[in-house]
Amino acid sequence: MNLVIVESPTKAKTIKKFLSKNYKVLASQGHLIDLPRSKVGVDIENDFEPKYITIRGKGKILKELKDAAKKANKVFLAADPDREGEAICWHISRALNLDQAQPCRVEFNEITKEAVKESFKNPRQIDYNRVDAQQARRILDRLVGYSISPLLWRKIRSGLSAGRVQSVAVRLICDREDEIDSFIPCEYWSLNALLEDEKNGSNFKVEIDRHKRSKLELKNKAQVEDVAAAVRNEKFIIDKITRSQRKRHPLPPFTTSSLQQEASAKLGFTSRKTMNLAQQLYEGINIGSGETVGLITYIRTDSTKVSIQAQDEARTMIENKYGADYLPGKPPEYKTRKGAQEAHEAIRPTSIMREPDLIKQHLSRDQNRLYKLIWNRLVAAQMNPAVYNKVRVNIKAGGYTFKANGSNLRFPGFLILYQVDNGDEDAYLPDLEEGQDLKLLELIPDQHFTKPPPRYNEASLIRTLEEKRIGRPSTYSPIIETIQSRGYVIKENKAFLPTEIGIVVVQLMINYFPEIIDIDFTARLEEQLDEIEEGKHERLKVLKNFYEGDFKDRLEEADQKIEKVEMKPEYSDETCPHCSEHLVYKHGRFGRFLACPAFPECRYTKKVVKETGVQCPRDGGMIVELRTKKGRTFYGCENYPDCDFSLWKKPLPEECPQCGSLLAEHRKSKETLARCSKKECPYEHNLEEQEAAAGS
């Protein structure tokens, strides 16, 4: 009997069906051995030697594995194909006293019968470079966390923590808030002209050319009125028409980062939800007839590479289902960012032939939505680009140039399967000729103000972390969870705002531990960890350079110089119904709330309710913003749950002119719509156009 050890029970159950009766498959349920939680667990004086222990509660599992290993002819370690998986295998091999010279490590990128069986034909030794890279990261994080966190407890308050990567993420959010606070809006104007092509009676808009070369300034109303006066009685003549074609290429297959970003944008999933669902799809789903199989490849990757077999399957599918016009002459190639792990593949379906609709009945709604997103992205990535006919028209009037861009889709290409944001797509233009006169119907001046950069949401924060090389694919979701659970940031309207405690901690880190919170320094450290994995750098050298370079001295200096920070409570006008104290604002995992300052003697708390200004149509109460148990925002009566009126979309203070129901705010691409909340009613209108009309 041979023993196979994997991490999760689900993965064990799936793999067991692919192997013969001569194999017993058990799960370690993650790490069994780690640094102790009660102390640093690193012997700094002895070359940073880690002091590992069996994780509390895992002794029974380890004993079961040891007993099974004694009876086995061979032991195979089949944890995930990354640093963490390699470290799990290394720890287990030592605990089970396996011969380190023997090839016991099996690795597969997808949990399918073919991939699993092939991996057992070619076991290898444990990769100690990978193990060293994981240990270096673990020790660095432990040195930072267990050295700075107690300092924060003493100087600010208990329960705080400082992490090597999480602190940088909080700094990004704080820096963005500083940019927003210091932003000074600048006024500028645009001038559009509504023109008529009298040949066919069609109307279209053109915009005055404000390119730098024209040196035209429209900074205030007086300037735009001067230009309007100069062209109002002039002829509008087409000066030049440029026709061209533009290709829009498909997006590459998913990496961990791009999957989380796209699932957030298209499906509204948090990074945690995306990774949980992806893990389920990876480890195995019963798709009928007793067949349990992994539906997607390994989910922690930064590579866009796809196997030749998967490309061939996708090309066959494209030709059979969509036709030869959609199939490029050769498979497209996509660049993988610098430092990506090229040994891995992108996230893709394990079989292109498992179309989403064919297995839909075996998946939960959200599993199916994520699987369909992954399937569509992979197949679309192997298709021909979309082709647009583009028209650029320059129109002269009174010494000024107006311009219009038009386009129409000539060939959909990959867009037939995977829609992308077409916010830059131009409007339709009629068939025009150079030298043609056009009739001016209306001049439309419009005032604008420059806007500050937007706050980070989950997708944009993950994208920034990846671009700046902060963390790894497996760490993005835990980082986002940690900075919220510690109360350093809160999420409002899906955007991150730093809390007062988050701002204080970041400023303290900048003053006393500038390297830890420096984006470039953190990225360079990440590169060094990659180099350890590649065998180009030594673990001990990286650790010594970090600790003995500046960190040790800064710790001693900070402990002496940092004074106790007094966090002043923010009082509200409301009083506690139990002890009449003015309630104070606190920050929790699900945002702000009110609490009695007499805690712990008085434990009264109250939600901070956001009013919408709209009355409930059932009982006349105020409709307020509420949250589900999972943190999802919805809108309901303030008397909820006694009054169960609720909406997923924000209600508007106006009734539907067709049926009298409430209108609610909907976002569609870059438009904001007022749409009837009654499903059967089709009424909707564009809110921005309505506001613009009201303003004029």
What Å distances lie between residue 502 and 35, 173, 256, 294, CA to CA? 27, 9, 27, 40
- Residue-level pLDDT at 288: 79
User: Around Cβ 304, how many Cβ atoms within 10 Å?
Assistant: 22
Mean pLDDT of 294-312: 94
Q: Do domains 153-179+456-561 and 257-381 have the same CATH topology?
A: no
The pLDDT tens digits for 478-523 are 999 999 888 899 888 789 999 888 999 999 999 999 999 999 999 9
Between CA 336 and CA 239 the distance in angstroms is: 44
- The topology (CATH level 3) of 2-126 is Rossmann fold (3.40.50)
- The topology (CATH level 3) of 187-249+386-449 is Topoisomerase I; domain 3 (2.70.20)
Domain boundaries 257-381, CATH class:
mainly alpha
Cβ atoms of residues 187 and 447 within 8 Å? yes
Amino acid in the structure at residue 573? D
Tell which CATH architecture fits domain 153-179+456-561.
Answer: Orthogonal Bundle (1.10)
State the distance between the two ends of the chain, measured CA to CA, in whole angstroms. 82
- Residue-level pLDDT at 689: 58
Between CA 105 and CA 28 the distance in angstroms is: 15
- Residue-level pLDDT at 627: 73
Tokens of 256: 């961990």
Residue 576 vs residue 344, higher pLDDT: 576
Residue 136 has pLDDT above 80, yes or no: yes
Mean pLDDT of 541-555: 91
- Residue-level pLDDT at 291: 77
Closest by Cα among 119, 114, 117, 112 to 349: 112
Between CA 254 and CA 263 the distance in angstroms is: 11
Let me know how many helices (H) and strands (E) the chain has, helices first.
19, 29
Task: Tell me the sheet residues that pair with 3.
Answer: 24, 75
Q: How confident is the model at residue 295 (pLDDT cuts 50, 70, 90)?
A: very high
- Residue-level pLDDT at 214: 62
The pLDDT tens digits for 75-127 are 999 999 999 999 999 999 999 999 988 999 999 999 999 999 999 999 999 99
Closest by Cα among 83, 466, 457, 455 to 257: 466
Residue 669 has pLDDT above 80, yes or no: no
2-6 vs 74-77, strand pairing mode: parallel
Between CA 429 and CA 526 the distance in angstroms is: 51
Cβ atoms of residues 506 and 167 within 8 Å? yes
Mean pLDDT of 224-235: 94
- Mean of all residue pLDDT scores within the chain: 89
Residue 696 has pLDDT above 50, yes or no: no
Element (H, E) at 375: helix 365-381
Residue 183 has pLDDT above 60, yes or no: yes
Cβ atoms of residues 207 and 404 within 8 Å? yes
- Provide Rg for the chain, Cα atoms: 30
Residue 324 has pLDDT above 60, yes or no: yes
Residue 173 has pLDDT above 70, yes or no: yes
User: Around Cβ 184, how many Cβ atoms within 10 Å?
Assistant: 7
What Å distances lie between residue 541 and 45, 136, 436, 552, CA to CA? 14, 10, 74, 15
Residue 693 has pLDDT above 50, yes or no: no
- Residue-level pLDDT at 644: 85
**Could you tell me the residue ranges of all domains in the chain?**
2-126, 153-179+456-561, 187-249+386-449, 257-381, 654-696
Between CA 647 and CA 625 the distance in angstroms is: 10
The pLDDT tens digits for 333-389 are 898 776 565 567 999 999 999 999 999 999 999 999 999 999 999 999 999 999 999
Mean pLDDT of 146-155: 91
Mean pLDDT of 150-160: 86
Closest by Cα among 193, 194, 192, 190 to 218: 190
- Residue-level pLDDT at 474: 84
Instruction: Please give the model's pTM, rounded to 2 decimal places.
Output: 0.82
Report the catalytic residues.
298
